[in-house]
Amino acid sequence: MGSVRWAFRCGSWTPSRSDWLFAARCVQREEKDRIGQFVFAKDAKSAMAGRLLLRKFVCERMGIPWSEIKLERTPRGKPYLAAPLRINSDSVRFWSFNLSHQGDFAVLAAELGMQVGVDVMKITMPGSSSVPEFFRIMTRQFTEYEWSIIQSPSSEDQQLAAFYRHWALKESFIKAIGSGLGFNLQRVEFHLSSEPLTQGQVLRQTKMHLDEEEEEDWMFEESLLDADHHIAVALGPADKPGCTPPSLPPPTTFTLLSFSELIASASPLTEEDPSYWESFQMKAEAPQRQRDTRTSV
Ligand SMILES: CC(C)(COP(=O)(O)OP(=O)(O)OC[C@H]1O[C@@H](n2cnc3c(N)ncnc32)[C@H](O)[C@@H]1OP(=O)(O)O)[C@@H](O)C(=O)NCCC(=O)NCCS
C-alpha cells in the first residue's frame, strides 16, 4: 500500500507515568530533550505523539528496526530519515512523509513515489480580536480571490471554517516543499472544489495556482477529522531521481490510532529517567486563555 494516513488524538491523551516514561525512552535523546522543554503539557504531548508517529511509520512501513532509525531535520526543520543509509529497496527510498500537530490531533501522511506535506488546523475563534480584525491581520496570507471565497458565507463560523480550510491547504504545500516560513504565500492560490467537505470523505478536486498558473502536477486531499479539524494533504512530483509517478490509489481517510497502537512497534533507545515524569507532571495543560474558552486561540 502506497498511502499512510494516521491520526492520534493527543488533546485527550492523559498518559500514565509508565506511558510517558516509556514514550520518552523510545524517541531520540535530542527530541526527548526538546519535548521536555515545552512549558505546557499540551505541546509536549503533541510533539511526543508526532515523534512516535514518525518512528512507527518508518519501522512498520519502511521495515527499519526501531533502534536503527535516525531521524534528522533539514535546515528548515523538515524531518527526514538520515540513517540507516544502506537502504536500497525502491519501496523504501521513495517514501515521503510529513507530520502536523495542532488543536487536538497529531497526524502523519506518507506517500510512496510522491512528495507529501500535511497540515491539520482546528477551527478556532480568535481569542482577543473580532473575526474581521483577525482577518485584517492575516490579509497578506491569502490572495484577493481567496479572501472573496473566505468572506462569502454570511456567518462568521462558516467564514472561519473557510479560512482554516485555505490555511491548511497553503501549509500543506509549504510543508511538502519544505520551505518553511521563507515562502511568499501570495504566490499560491487555491480554487476549492465545489463539492461540500463532509466528515468521513476525502476530496481531491481542489486546484492550486502557482504564480497564476494552474499546477497540474499537484493534488490536494482534504478531509475533516471531526467537525472542528480540517486536514489537507499536498501530493506533488517526487523530488528523488529515478522515481516514477505512481498510479494513485483511491484516497483514504485518516485512521485514528490508540496509544497502544502508537507504541506497538516501539523499543527503548535510552534508560528510564524518572525526573522526566516529575517535570511533565508540573506542567500546566495549556495557557489559561485556552483552558477557559475551549474554542479560542
Ligand atoms: C514550521 C512550519 C513548517 C509549520 O508549522 P506549523 O503549521 O506551526 O506546525 P505543524 O504542526 O503543521 O507542523 C509541525 C511539524 O512539521 C514538521 N516540519 C517542521 N519544519 C518543516 C518544514 N520546513 N517543512 C515541512 N515540515 C516541517 C515537523 O515535523 C514539525 O513537528 P515537530 O517539530 O514536532 O517534529 C512552517 O510552515 C510555519 O511556521 N509556517 C507558518 C507560515 C504561515 O504564516 N502560514 C500561514 C498559512 S496561510
Bridge partners for 74 per DSSP: none
What local confidence, expressed as pLDDT, does residue 296 receive?
46
Residues 6+ apart with CB under 8 A from 264: 56, 60
What local confidence, expressed as pLDDT, does residue 88 receive?
58
Return the residue matching grid coordinates 526501531. Answer: 66
* Complete domains list, the chain, with CATH: 1-113+244-290 (3.90.470.20), 116-237 (3.90.470.20)
What local confidence, expressed as pLDDT, does residue 1 receive?
61
Low-confidence residues of the chain, pLDDT below 50?
Answer: 293-297
Closest-lying ligand 1 atom to the alpha carbon of residue 141: 48
Q: What are phi and psi of 65, to 5 degrees?
A: -60, 140
What local confidence, expressed as pLDDT, does residue 291 receive?
57
What local confidence, expressed as pLDDT, does residue 117 receive?
98
Strands (E) in 44-202, as ranges, are: 70-73, 79-83, 95-102, 105-112, 114-122, 188-191
Residue identifier of the C-alpha nearest atom 17 of ligand 1: 78
Residues 6+ apart with CB under 8 A from 258: none
What local confidence, expressed as pLDDT, does residue 48 receive?
98
d(CA 173, CA 116): 8
Residue 174 Cα to ligand 1 middle (Å): 8
Pocket of ligand 1 from Cβ distances under 6 Å: 47, 50, 76-79, 98-102, 119, 141, 167, 170-171, 174-175, 178, 180-181, 185
What is the amino acid identity at position 243?
A: C
Give the rounded percent of residues in the chain with a pLDDT score beyond 90: 83
Residue 162 Cα to ligand 1 middle (Å): 20
C-alpha 1: how far from chain center:
20
The grid coordinates listed for 204 are: 481531491
Pocket test for ligand 1, best of 35, 175, 231, 239 (most atoms within 8 A of CB): 175
d(CA 220, CA 222): 6
What local confidence, expressed as pLDDT, does residue 178 receive?
95
